[in-house]
């Protein structure tokens, strides 16, 4: 691993450079193993001696794609405080900006900007079998290293789309339930939850925007039994997904 490699990887910490190069980073043993088991295309894999125990999983990569490194170099190049195993440079996939037919439960994110929340929601979607997340253009970029890390590998199994959410919701057929999480609405636990459905989750501080609220057929709320002002959007998403899967 050269100084130039480290400089290039550090540049990929920035959104502008990720978009320019059409690549993103995956770091750490677990997430890189999830990546190797997926159909994402790896551009380069930087790995330490400790990661060679998984060599059978990356034997299909070309020798030019495999670069040995020290733990110090891997940590210096990446975003983790410590990384003893690997960093992968991954080729990006084009975002699908076309409205598609919803067959099961899907999630829509309206200006969810915190990378940690975004990554957590991707992981929650994966847990509850939600295959697609539809994001407004001002939602956090899923290729952000913090999003990738928070998703714990689930980014490899959930399709993430960026589009005009208002237009997307308008184009859904009448049999698709469009449900939104609001502070004021019908009690989630007493509501009739039907599939297919789109669950709309709003911005961390502002909630669902006015532009989208008019497109939502069912306004639901998680009833409070204490005095907390609100719930984290990731936690709220999990509660809604659980309610849908309970039927």
The domain limits of the chain are: 3-91, 105-246
- pLDDT tens, position by position, for the chain (247 residues)? 999 999 999 999 999 999 999 999 999 999 999 999 999 999 999 999 999 999 999 999 999 999 999 999 999 999 999 999 999 999 998 765 565 679 999 999 999 999 999 999 999 999 999 999 999 999 999 999 999 999 999 999 999 999 999 999 998 888 999 999 999 999 999 999 999 999 999 998 999 999 999 999 899 999 999 999 889 999 999 999 999 999 7
* pTM for the model: 0.94
Asked if residue 134 lies in contact with residue 99, where contact means CB atoms within 8 angstroms, the answer is: no
Pairwise CA distance, residues 179 & 198, whole Å: 6
CATH class of 105-246: alpha beta
Could you tell me the fold of the domain covering 3-91? 60s Ribosomal Protein L30; Chain: A; (3.30.1330)
Q: Do domains 3-91 and 105-246 have the same CATH topology?
A: no
Asked if residue 161 lies in contact with residue 96, where contact means CB atoms within 8 angstroms, the answer is: yes
Pairwise CA distance, residues 232 & 117, whole Å: 8
Pairwise CA distance, residues 238 & 228, whole Å: 18
């Amino acid at each position: 691993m050269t100084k130039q490699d480290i400089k290039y990887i550090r540049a990929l910490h920035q959104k502008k450079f990720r978009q320019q190069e059409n690549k993103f980073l995956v770091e750490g043993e677990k997430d890189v193993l999830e990546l190797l088991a997926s159909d994402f295309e790896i551009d380069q894999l930087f790995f330490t001696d400790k990661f060679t125990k998984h060599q059978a999983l990356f034997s299909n990569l070309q020798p030019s794609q495999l670069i040995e490194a020290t733990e110090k170099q891997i940590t210096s190049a990446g975003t983790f405080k410590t990384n003893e195993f690997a960093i992968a440079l991954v080729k990006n996939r084009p975002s699908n900006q076309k409205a598609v037919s919803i067959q099961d439960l899907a999630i829509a994110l309206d200006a969810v900007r915190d990378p940690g929340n975004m990554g957590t929601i991707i992981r929650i979607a994966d847990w509850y079998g939600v295959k697609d997340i539809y994001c407004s253009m001002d939602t956090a970029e899923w290729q952000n290293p913090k999003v990738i890390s928070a998703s714990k590998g689930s980014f490899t199994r959930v399709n993430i789309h960026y589009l005009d959410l208002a237009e997307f919701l308008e184009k859904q057929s009448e049999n698709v339930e469009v449900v939104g999480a609001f502070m004021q609405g019908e009690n989630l636990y007493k509501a009739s939850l039907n599939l297919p459905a789109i669950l709309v989750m709003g911005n961390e501080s502002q909630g669902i925007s006015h532009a989208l609220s008019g497109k939502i057929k069912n306004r639901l709320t998680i009833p409070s039994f204490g005095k907390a002002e609100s719930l984290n959007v990731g936690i709220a998403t999990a509660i809604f997904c659980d309610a849908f899967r309970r039927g």
